[in-house]
Structures are given as C-alpha cells and as structure tokens.
A and B are shown apart, each in its own frame.
Chain A
Amino acid sequence: MAEHLLEVKDLVKHFTLNGDFVSRIAGKTQTVKAVDGISFHIRQGETLGLVGESGCGKSTTGRLITRLIEPTAGEIKLHGEDLLAFPPKRMRDARRNIQLVFQDPYASLNPRKTIMEILSRPLEVHKLATTWHEKRERVLELLNLVGLGSEHIDRYPHEFSGGQRQRIAIARGLALTPELVIGDEPVSALDVSIQAQILNLFRELQEKFSLTYLFVAHDLSVIRHISDRVAVMYVGKIVETGPVETIFSDPLHPYTKALLAAVPEADPSKPPPRLTLEGEVATPIDPPPGCRLNGRCPLATTICGEVSPELVTVDTNHQVACHNL
C-alpha cells in the first residue's frame, strides 16, 4: 500500500458568532460547526475529491490543511509528522509542500502585478531563485508547463481570459514544486469548454510530477472525472467515502444517493433530476445532536436524533456514516 501523504484525524473547526464580551456574558454566543470531527487520508499520487453543497465545510477543510486558518482540534499529519505542532519557521517550509489553487482567478491574482512578479514572488519568499535571470528562467518554465507562451510574461492579469488566469494560478501553485496541491473549486468559475482544458491540465501535471491532489468541488461530474477516491461532506461531517467507482455506482448513504439523483445529466434519455430528501440543507449553527441529515432522511429512526453516526467500514476502503444500513 502506498504511503499516506496526508492524514487528517478528528479535525474540528468551530467559529463563534456574537463572540463579543456582552454577548458572552449574556450567554448569546452561537457556534458554527463548520468542520466537526472529520478524518481522512490521501495516499501519495492519488486524488481525493471532496464534494458537498455550499456551507458543508469543504473549503474550510482545504484551508485548515494549509493552516491558513487554525483548527479548533484534531490532527493533520504530513508524511506522518504533525503539522499543527510545527513552529512558524518549520511551518513555512512545510507550506512549500502544500499549495492552494483558488476558485476565482479574477480575485486570486493581484491586478497590479505582472505575471513575472506574481510567479516569481513565491521563489523570492522561499529563496529558491535570487538573480533576475534565475527567476525569469523559472517563470518561463512554469508558463510553458501550463500551456502559456513566453510572450505573456510581462502582461497583467486583466489581459487574460478566465481560463488563462486559472492556468497562471496553477503555475503559481506549482512554483515551489509541492507534493500536495489543494484545488478549492478550481474549475467552477469556468465555462464548460474551458473547464475541460483545465481538468486535462490538472491530469497532465499530476502525471508529470506525481502530484497528490485534494480536489474540492460541488460539481459531481467534475469529481467523477478527476478523483480516485471521493469523500462526501454534509454540514461539517464526512458521510461517505470510498473509491470513485463505488461512490457513483453503489452509493449507500441517503445523502450521497440524493446528491447523485439531483444531478441533471446532459442526456435526455437519463432520468430527470429529482430530490429524494425533504426540506433544505441543515444549518451548521448549533446543530442538534444526532445525524445531521435527521429530519430530511427517509430512513430516519429514533437513534438518528440522538447519536451522531460514526464512519463504519462496509467494504475495502468504503466507509459510511449511517445508523440504518
């Protein structure tokens, strides 16, 4: 079995609402349980797709792993070493190994810097290139990797289309030769013909540099395409995880089933999309005890309102958190 590059255990992130002094005294604070005790691992060279609807905590998970925000509790291990115990200097070095690509390339690139400046900045910060010539050479190499010509190097972000900007954002992610790249909805702002180009680029780069991906997305067809394994999140919890084939052809959790049934496929002969759950997505603000799907789930029994189900292994690598299997 391949080594686990990343191992996340009981990761928790709670945000406090109304955290001011007066509210605290009056007992009016609320807790947003954005990520509420999730565990997963990613093997070297594989792609884990993290899928869920708005507010389920998938982006927060990505940010926690880079320690852009600090977890409330839990463990994040990179190559078996606890990232959360790293002192700041050590953490900065570790960040070289974990890079993020964001959703919106219009927001993630500084409009006042040229592509040369944007792509050489990480090299300067980590002292990987010192002279202008070294930096220039490396930036040209990066542009070439993501399929952009060298004539683009001195241009500004506004001179590029959305797809080209996302290529630049990916080039920046690769500048430090990371092992783990976290894509936070990296194709969801793109039109479908461009999305396909960028997904192919992710694949090519993965093969070339044996990259490991944590791919966060809400689009199930994108997740189906890019992932080796999938984790489905619902309101701060992982409800099901397993190999991509299993999750898509034999889903067990009622939420996973509902999610798949709701996707409109671009094929009129396929069944029309429908919702197999009742009501709307639960809120992560002070959620009641028990399963987060309780109240919407067709299978719910009394225990579902009392005890939050743990992930249980049902088959090799296939885990489900449901009381009623």
Chain B
Amino acid sequence: MAEPVLEIDNLSVRFNLKRGVLRAVDGVSLSVGKGETFGLVGESGSGKTVTARSIMRLIKTPPGEIAGGTVRFEGRDIYQMSDAEIREIRGQHIAMIFQEPMTALNPVFTVGNQIGDALRTNMGLSKAEARERSIEMLQLVGIPSPAARIDNYVHEFSGGMRQRVMLAMAMSCDPTFLIADEPTTALDVTIQAVILELITSMIERFDMSLLFITHNLGVVAHACDNVGVMYASHLVEMGTKAEIFSNPQHPYTKGLLRSIPRMDAQEKFLTPINGTVCNMMDPPQGCKFHPRCEHTMDVCKERIPEFRELSPGHFAACHLHDQPTV
C-alpha cells in the first residue's frame, strides 16, 4: 500500500444537543494512501459526511465536539494546528466538493469572482493572474468557451456544469487531497457518468488522493480502490473494492449488496434488510446493527464488536468473526 496521506484513528464526534447527545461518529479508523481513492459508503445519517467534515475541521463547536481520536494529514495532527495552519491546509492541500453546487456556490457573485477569490487569498495572485488562472481551470474541467462563461452567475449554468465549476474551484489551488461529498447524487445518470469520469481523470492526472462519500454502491464500484462501509456512526467493514464486492464479511454489507435490484435479470422479490435504522439519539446496546441482523447472538446485544483484520487489508466489526472457527 502507498504511504498514508490521511490517517483517521479512532475518531469520535459528538453533538451535544438539547434533546441529548448524538454520537455521529464513533471510533472510526481509516487511512487513505497517496494516489488512492477511498469510497466511504453508508445510508442517510450513518456519519459519513461528519467524518469528512471533521477532516477539514469543519465541525461547528458547540454543539459539535471531537470526543476522541486523531486526524493526521501528511503526518501532522489536524487538531493540533493553529488557525493559520489549518487555513493553509484548507484549499491548498485538501479541497472539498459538495452534493448541491447551487448551495455550495454563492449566487450573487460570478463564478470567476469566486474561483479568483480562492486564488488571491491562498496563492497571493493578482486580480489579472487570478482571472487568467480561473479561465484555465474552467477549461480544464470542460466548460465550453470559458473566457465568456467566467462572468456568468451560478444560476446560468446547468446542474452538471455547476458541478464542473465547483471542481474547477476545488482544483484551483493545486490540492493533493480531494474530498467529494456525494458529488453526483443530485445529477441525472448520464451527467453523473460524465462527472465521475472527470473526477477520476483529474485524480489520475494530478496524482491526487480522493475520499469519495456516497450512498451509491454502483458509483463506489467504479470510482474507488478501497471501500469503507458505515452503519449508525460505526465503520463496520473496510477493504479493497474487490474484497468488499465479491467477499463481503459484515451482514450489513451483504444485506446492502443484496438489496440493490439487479440490472441483468429480474427477480420477483428483492432481499431487503429488515427493520429500520436505529434512533441515533438512543442507539441499542452492543452492535448497532443487531436489531436488523439475521445472525444476532447474545453477545451482539451486549458488546460492540471489535474492528478486526480478517485477511490482509480486509477489516470487519462483527461477532461472527470472534472465533477463528466461524
């Protein structure tokens, strides 16, 4: 494996709300190597976005709180950095793109203004240099006639084009690490295909690392090298793409893969995961998945299973793997 660029170790994030304490991320450990693409999958509310945001130190405190663990980027602890240091990391080293470009971009400034702003602040370029570089960036992400489009506002772009603008902005300061939080979820399938190809080609061309957050297993299957699966604030399984898709070890991962309707044949009934996601304000004891699991044992209701390595690089948190005989 390539040397790790990002190392998250035993990270826990809590939100202290009026209604009680919400453990949004609980003991998550993962690492992303140089030039590697890591897909973090999970359903709504599983904690994948909070994990991503905590890397950039974007968790609002209060009510949020890093309850434990460390996030290290290129060996340096993100949470030990001064404000000036973290500002340097954001944008210049780690960039982020979001699901909804319409809300992530500012509607009252032209796109050139917004990309240029980042360049002038982070790279110290002059107004004219920033404009020139912005046009280059728009060209790079495939926006036709960028010299004219640079003076357009966000609403003058289509959904796919907006996502390109956001990517141009993220790439403008030569980051080495990109966090993409559901970047194709709001897009139609044909546009999604184009944006995925664009992101993948950018990552390869500039030798970047990627943390890709999505609920769509199909996207992960094609855009990522390694995959982590989250359920109810916990990372329940992690491994190479091939291992996760062809040899899943956690019952949740298996259930998720079985729930997807097949494209090559029609089954009369699907095999869903029974029940619903637990209430995160009042999660069950033990393994968070046990109320929905078909293999529940007594130990599952009492203890949270350890996240253990089953084969090199393949981890899962399930009591089924407690004894070597199983």
In the complex, chain B residues whose CB is within 8 Å of the CB of A272: 197, 222
A111 to chain B, nearest CB (A): 18
Complex alpha-carbon distance, A270 and B168, angstroms: 30
In the complex, chain A residues whose CB is within 8 Å of the CB of B223: 264
Contact status A199-B261, CB under 8 Å: yes
Q: What 1/0 mask marks residues of chain B from 250 to 284 whose CB sits below 8 Å from any chain A CB?
A: 00000111111111101111111110110000000
Q: Which of A53, A193, A218, A259 contacts B273 (CB 8 A)?
A: A193
Complex alpha-carbon distance, A53 and B194, angstroms: 15
A27 to chain B, nearest CB (A): 24
* Residue A92 at the chain B interface, CB threshold 8 Å: no
* Residue A67 at the chain B interface, CB threshold 8 Å: no
Using C-beta atoms within 8 Å of the partner chain, give the interface range for chain A: 35 or more
Complex alpha-carbon distance, A224 and B194, angstroms: 23
Number of interchain pairs (Cβ within 8 Å)? 132
Nearest A-chain residue to B244, judged by Cβ: A268
Nearest B-chain residue to A54, judged by Cβ: B188
A210 to chain B, nearest CB (A): 16
* Residue B219 at the chain A interface, CB threshold 8 Å: yes
Contact status A195-B259, CB under 8 Å: yes
Contact status B222-A277, CB under 8 Å: no
Question: 8 Å CB contacts to B: which residues of A164-186?
Answer: 164
Of B43, B161, B217, B263, most buried by chain A (CB within 10 Å of CB) is B263
In the complex, chain A residues whose CB is within 8 Å of the CB of B257: 266
* Residue B245 at the chain A interface, CB threshold 8 Å: yes
Q: Which of B192, B260, B261 contacts A273 (CB 8 A)?
A: B192
Nearest B-chain residue to A266, judged by Cβ: B217
Contact status A192-B189, CB under 8 Å: no
In the complex, chain A residues whose CB is within 8 Å of the CB of B190: 53, 258-259, 262, 275, 277, 281
* Residue B202 at the chain A interface, CB threshold 8 Å: no
Given contacts A199-B270, A224-B266, contact A161 B276 (CB under 8 A): yes
Complex alpha-carbon distance, A192 and B261, angstroms: 9
Contact status B221-A192, CB under 8 Å: no
B182 to chain A, nearest CB (A): 13
Since A53-B188, A193-B272, A274-B197 are in contact, a sample of 19 more A-B pairs with Cβ atoms closer than 8 Å, ordered by chain A residue number, is A54-B188, A164-B276, A192-B260, A193-B256, A196-B270, A196-B271, A199-B261, A200-B270, A220-B189, A221-B263, A225-B261, A225-B270, A263-B189, A266-B257, A273-B193, A273-B222, A274-B193, A275-B190, A280-B161
A contacts, CB < 8 Å to B: 53-54, 161-164, 191-197, 199-200, 203, 218, 220-222, 224-226, 244-245, 248, 258-259, 261-268, 270, 272-275, 277, 280-281
